[in-house]
Structure 1
Amino acid sequence: MAKRIGSDEGFTEIFNREVGFSHPRSISRRISASEVLILLLTARIFLDGYITHSLSLLLVSGIVKKLDLYGKLNGHEGCVNAVEFSSTGDILVSGSDDRQIMLWNLLNGTRTLTYPSGHCENVFQTKFIPFTDDRTIITSGADGQVRLGQILENGKVETKRLGRHHGRVYKLAVLPGDPNVFYSCGEDGFVQHFDIRSSSPTTVLYSSPFTHGCRRHHSSSRIRLNSIAIDPRNPHYLAVGGSDEYARVYDTRRVQLAPVCRHIVPDAPVNTFCPRHLRETNSVHVTGLAYSKASELLVSYNDELIYLFEKNMGFGSSPVGISAEKLQEMEEPQVYTGHRNAQTVKGVNFMGPNDEYVMSGSDCGHIFIWKKKGGKLVRAMLGDRRVVNQLESHPHITFIASCGIERSVKLWTPVSNDVMSLPENIEKVTESNRVGREEQSRVTLTPEVIMHVLRLQRRQTSAFTERRYVLTDVDGDEENEAQFISGLVAGDDDSSERECNVS
């Protein structure tokens, strides 16, 4: 069972009062009156209209600076890669390297359900399907599977595979307000469309490097997709990012649904985003995307920085051939600095009633929170002994869930009176991150060298695979090594495909 968050259940009382379940006098004495007032005012700011926008920002800023570790949810036996709140905010779902899915009751900090996901490898994404009473959960993982978990009335869970990519599937995107439709993106370069009422997925689009024009699908001409996000103001707009420097936005009305096929013509985006200095560099890739409520696109780069793009900052359907004069005229995106994103595929997210803040994990183990406007770092917290991967904000109040290399989910609430908004050593931390990032950029390999290394790895994988099938007794470590090499190559999709016996 999970460890209880606290004996006085302070957060429980705040939550209960916020949703109208308890009388004000029942709030724990440990939570100061000023903190409760700030929490309640913040939740009502844009409903009641009694407080000006500038004052509301001041109140939210005070809350962010008070964020501190409130408790941990223990139970997983591997790194926790995914967390998400339910629409009401009282349940959290998590997925891990242990391939287990866990549901947590946030009102008392206990684990209410655990079930095997059916994935053969690490679980990378867990999401609730809306309007299903938190009983329908979709997952994706390193085995390329996209799976559905259905919680029955008797408490048992039925799982099944909905579809599969050739390569890892890091992210899923649920169509807002739809209890049936969602999308997945994979390292095979495909975006797949799922309707849980249907027996099989359909291909929405395929991403290819701009320099390859209209070449058909090939292992060297695809964008290995890491992230996907849906514009909340226009759900037809789908943003994806992966193994090059561009975030691509597609209009799903302009693509034709078709059976999943490996040989299709790449689709053209309606807009592309990239900082000017990274354009056509082939030295970075996108790890995380997020849309704000105002349709701003947040893009996090591997071993680079985080950028916020407005719609008018895009290159259009193709960034190729844009004149130097036009590039100079384009407005630069807001940038967020201090963290480092090199070791894992990190997400990025917004926080606040109107997405006033941007937050990200870091290789240094810290959680970084910046003001969206201006990019000022306002809060940094040590969230993991090694790496913080994912951060999720509560849908209604200032409350964050984080996960990383450690085996627990951490919860953060504005309950501290004596914590410093920025650690004393923050300058040393950010400088260390900057130096590491710049040193890594100096040894960036050219595309020709990378392709040469991949060809060598492919030959080694083929030789190893042939030897594996000849031998009658294969050592387990060697098998793991073969899978690891295949994962690195991921160029021959058929060779990396592995079957799973769990239905």
Structure 2
Amino acid sequence: MSNKRPRSGSSSIDKAVVDVWQRELGQLSSRSFAHRLGGSEDLVLRLDLYRKLEKHKGCVNTVSFNEDGDILVSGSDDRRVILWDWETGRIKLSFHSGHDNNVFQAKIMPCTDDRTIVTCAADGQVMLAQILERGVVEVKTLGKHQARAHKLAIEPGSPHIFYTCGEDGLVQHFDLRTRTATELFTCHPVDDRRRYRSVIPLNAITIDPRNPNLFAVAGSDEYARLYDIRKYKWDGSTDFGQPTDYFCPSKLRGDEHVGITGLAFSEQSELLVSYNDEYIYLFTRDMGLGPNPLPASPVSMGSDASEIGGDHQLPASPSAMDTDEKVIPQDYKGHRNCETVKDKTIVNCIECHPHTMVLASSGIDDDIKMWTPKALEKAVLPTNIEQKPRPRGWMYRIASPQDLLLQLFSLQRRRTNSEHGGESSAPGRELLELLLRFNDNSDASSDDGGDTASQDDLFS
């Protein structure tokens, strides 16, 4: 008997009817009903463009809803932050972020009457914007990374606590009650295969909604790292040391050509990991590699349950088991994060409404697109989703002079390792192609900086 979930047709309609009936009888909570509704395949296939939000003058790098879902906040290469009444398309407030470079992330802190916004950007700065009376915005610097800061994560339900990560490998903890930044740790390579770099540049961070003490970070290598904030000693005498757990598909371990571009926790504490030039993987908590992911190293049998919390007790660490016995994570295929050339077809971010089936998306265009399930006809899924060719190695990932230098060191190491194997000419050809590719990318990419005065800088 098959356990596969029906994909479409009357079965999904019947299930929806049962969900409504259970909700009316109190057997299904409103929260669970909303989650099931949002995951309805019938609604997903009916998503259609609701409206475009147009005001930014550069690529829109971040979109995020407030708690109620009636306001959307966006940040852009134009260094401005805009609060939208997305349903009407009206701008509620537009202001300069205070950053010197592209805004990468902007979020409204919960339980603050939508008047506290935190941002991070390509200049490495972490900023706080307070919306005062009559639409006046007070912007202050909270902290700084020594390289680009791509993401921040707000502690669920907290109006005070959030974390940031940056390409300097640093993870910071912020408390708005004291407006102080605490440097928690710097992420280093797992082993000496990447000895040409001292830190792992980070570009993703997320917090477990079921246990806000746990958060995961990821970046330019293949490992997602899980940490427990309760292990940190706030007297400044020590940092975390080793992560509580590592996550990585077995087939990617040791692969220097992949990195992680996105992380997200589910409501069941599953960890979703998106790789560049690879697929998306869903890990459950029993799929961790333990505090030491190296296959050749002895690993203790799991972590102390008291350190993880009641909702996260772990079985014996799979790292100590035979590779064939490990639970394989679910993978999702269809597209890869493999191209960074600026193109009108690229979508950089997508955000779900907190309560209903509404999506906001943005990318290289300077507008934001809102999607609702209003199409009369369901979309037809493509049949050739796995036929896209893989990119040519790792050279597509060169986006900055720092990336170029790191790859040059890597090529030198590979040349040294292969000089006795008759392949010494290959790194030379690859180096030439690398330099040409970096030059092309530098010519094609530009930051749409600058600022213009706006008559929309009034909060209403």
Same fold per TM (> 0.5)? yes
Tell me the TM-score normalized by structure 2. 0.73
Whether 1:312 and 2:271 are equivalent positions in the alignment is: no
Whether 1:112 and 2:92 are equivalent positions in the alignment is: yes
Alpha carbons of structure 1 residues 411 and 43: separation in structure 2 relative to 1, 3 Å? farther
Q: Following superposition of structure 1 onto structure 2, how do residues 140-289 of structure 1 map, counting pairs within 5 Å?
A: 140-211=120-191, 220-257=197-234, 267-289=241-263
Alpha carbons of structure 1 residues 199 and 119: separation in structure 2 relative to 1, 3 Å? same
Letter of the 1:407 partner, please give it. D
Alpha carbons of structure 1 residues 303 and 199: separation in structure 2 relative to 1, 3 Å? same
The answer for the alignment partner of 1:440 in structure 2 is 393
Whether 1:391 and 2:350 are equivalent positions in the alignment is: yes
The answer for the alignment partner of 1:72 in structure 2 is 52
d(CA) in 2 for partners of 1:311, 1:456: 36
TM-superposed deviation, 1:326: 2.1
Letter of the 1:188 partner, please give it. D
Partner secondary structure for residue 173 of structure 1 = strand
TM-superposed deviation, 1:39: 10
Letter of the 1:155 partner, please give it. G
Partner secondary structure for residue 154 of structure 1 = helix
d(CA) in 1 for partners of 2:396, 2:134: 56
Letter of the 1:144 partner, please give it. G
d(CA) in 2 for partners of 1:121, 1:139: 12
TM-superposed deviation, 1:153: 1.7
d(CA) in 2 for partners of 1:59, 1:172: 26
Tell me the TM-score normalized by structure 1. 0.67
Whether 1:327 and 2:280 are equivalent positions in the alignment is: no
The answer for the alignment partner of 1:338 in structure 2 is 334
Whether 1:427 and 2:427 are equivalent positions in the alignment is: no
Letter of the 2:357 partner, please give it. T
| Runs (5+) with no aligned partner, structure 2 | 1-14, 297-318, 399-403, 413-438, 446-460
TM-superposed deviation, 1:93: 0.1
The answer for the alignment partner of 1:138 in structure 2 is 118
Using CA pairs under 8 Å that are at least 6 residues apart, name the structure with larger relative contact order, 1 or 2: 2
| Runs (5+) with no aligned partner, structure 1 | 1-37, 345-362, 366-383, 458-480, 488-503
Q: 2:82 aligns with which of 97, 102, 107?
A: 102
Alpha carbons of structure 1 residues 443 and 396: separation in structure 2 relative to 1, 3 Å? closer
TM-superposed deviation, 1:181: 0.8
The answer for the alignment partner of 2:365 in structure 1 is 406
- Aligned-residue sequence identity (percent) comes to 45
The answer for the alignment partner of 1:348 in structure 2 is none
Alpha carbons of structure 1 residues 219 and 130: separation in structure 2 relative to 1, 3 Å? farther
d(CA) in 2 for partners of 1:66, 1:114: 32
Letter of the 2:244 partner, please give it. V
d(CA) in 2 for partners of 1:413, 1:149: 30
Deviations 1:316-375 (A, max 9, x none): 01111357952221111010111120234xxxxxxxxxxxxxxxxxx9x9xxxxxxxxxx
The answer for the alignment partner of 1:10 in structure 2 is none
TM-superposed deviation, 1:291: 0.2
Partner secondary structure for residue 257 of structure 2 = coil
Contact 2:38 2:356 in 1 (8 A): no
d(CA) in 1 for partners of 2:106, 2:357: 21
The answer for the alignment partner of 1:294 in structure 2 is 268
